[in-house]
Amino acid sequence: MALTVLRVGISALMLGHGIPKINRLFESPIEFADPIGLGPTVSLILTLIGEVVAPVLIIVGWKTRLAAIPAFITMVVAAFVVHGADPFRKKEMAIIYALVFLVIMIGGPGKFSIDKN
């Protein structure tokens, strides 16, 4: 039960960060940070995978361990690349999200999921 609460809760909170970014896909030109040099469009798409697609999969508990990987990577990039030069307080939230997605990768979805760990 604890893994279910963790995965659903943290993923629902992550959707609050990702869903507002969807509208940016329809801007012309797309303006988004390019922290790893792939271009703003690719960076935005990768961010949306990590902040919208992956959390939805995690919430329903389908391919949970695999879905946690892009969410984890997105938060590591946010913490240590995007906010790398910022004070700890600015990157702390991304680090917390990364740690929780790491726990989900290790612990799996729990018994209340499509995957049924």
CA distance 74 to 13: 15
Is the overall model pTM greater than 0.85, yes or no?
Answer: yes
CA of 79: how far to CAs of 32, 35, 38, in Å? Answer: 16, 11, 18
pLDDT value of residue 116: 73
In angstroms, how far is the first alpha carbon of the chain from the final one?
Answer: 11
pLDDT tens string 8-37: 999 999 999 999 999 999 988 998 999 999
pLDDT value of residue 37: 92
pLDDT tens string 41-69: 999 999 999 999 999 999 999 999 999 99
Is the Cβ–Cβ distance between 61 and 114 less than 8 Å?
A: yes
Q: Where are the beta strands (DSSP E) in the chain?
A: none
Give the list of residues 6+ apart from residue 101 with CB closer than 8 angstroms, or none: 10, 68, 71, 72, 75
